[in-house]
Amino acid sequence: MFDAIFNYRYVWDTLDILLVAFIIYYVLRMLEGTRALQVLFGFVLLVVLYYVSQRGLFTLNWILGQFLGSIILIVVIIFQNDIRRGLAALGRRPFLLKMSPGKPKEQYLEEVVKASSYLANRYIGALIAIERNQTLSDYIEIGMRVDALVSRELIISIFNPSSPLHDGGIIIVGNRIISAGSFFPLTTDPDLERELGTRHRAALGLSSETDAVVIVVSEETGNISLAMGGDITRGMDATALHNGLMDALDIKRPTAKKSGLVNRLIRKEEGEDKNL
């Protein structure tokens, strides 16, 4: 009876379709939020254009044919980092889909805001990147792995001038600090104000290439800035930073009573820092 079932071709066809669908879904989930996904869509458009060009666009069809003839080699070269990470993740967790961490909650933002205010009051420079939809895995690999819950004390200790990691930036994913000492791409905007230093340029560069939210604390002026989408807002206080992060990360604002309590706690923290 079982031999008859397994010899029935529709059983194997169904299994074949399910496995292929699972692999495609796994690959898309692995590429979700990365620049590789955009490149993949570009390849799809080229394939579509290739078949359209067969109707009479002979020169374009020949060029695309030569290009797509080496598609396997091109894919391996372009996606080598993503392929390596995917195989490593598959080896660690076979057949488990990558689960993206949840969005940071308000309490973790308060830790970031308190740490930023503490550092600003003492003119200690800091660079804090918060991942949103697009992964920052390329920059995580450059830095030192931390993988610890977000806390005010940890952020302050990382950016302490005596720390070997204070020159780079930290990356926050969900409610965890994933890496420290990471280096971000610098913006090449020639119209940028000269008074903006390397940290500000790195924040603008990262926010231009990804959808990350980047906090900058200036060690020269003690000002707090928030970069997002290639734009930067400077001279923020703790309340403005907290509200800006809430909006950027699509976190619902607390009730007015709770919001007032949060602001009072932040101001109390700032007052204590100044008295220390």
pTM over 0.85: no
- What is the per-residue pLDDT across 170-183, written as a single tens digit (0 to 9) for each? 999 888 899 999 99
Residue-level pLDDT at 106: 67
C-alpha torsion angle, residues 66, 72, 73, 79 (rounded to 10): 120
- What is the per-residue pLDDT across 34-46, written as a single tens digit (0 to 9) for each? 666 667 778 888 8
Average pLDDT of the chain is: 79
The average pLDDT across 116-141 equals 89
What superfamily does domain 106-275 belong to in CATH? Answer: DNA integrity scanning protein, DisA, N-terminal domain (3.40.1700.10)
Is the per-residue pLDDT at 97 higher than 50? no
Collapse the DSSP code of 25 into the 3-class scheme (helix H, G, I; strand E, B; otherwise coil) and give the result: helix
Dist. CA 228–CA 206, nearest whole Å:
9
Domain limits of the chain? Answer: 2-92, 106-275
Residue indicated by tokens 């923290």: 269
Nearest to 215 by CA among 259, 269, 159, 165: 159
C-alpha torsion angle, residues 234, 272, 261, 216 (rounded to 10): 20
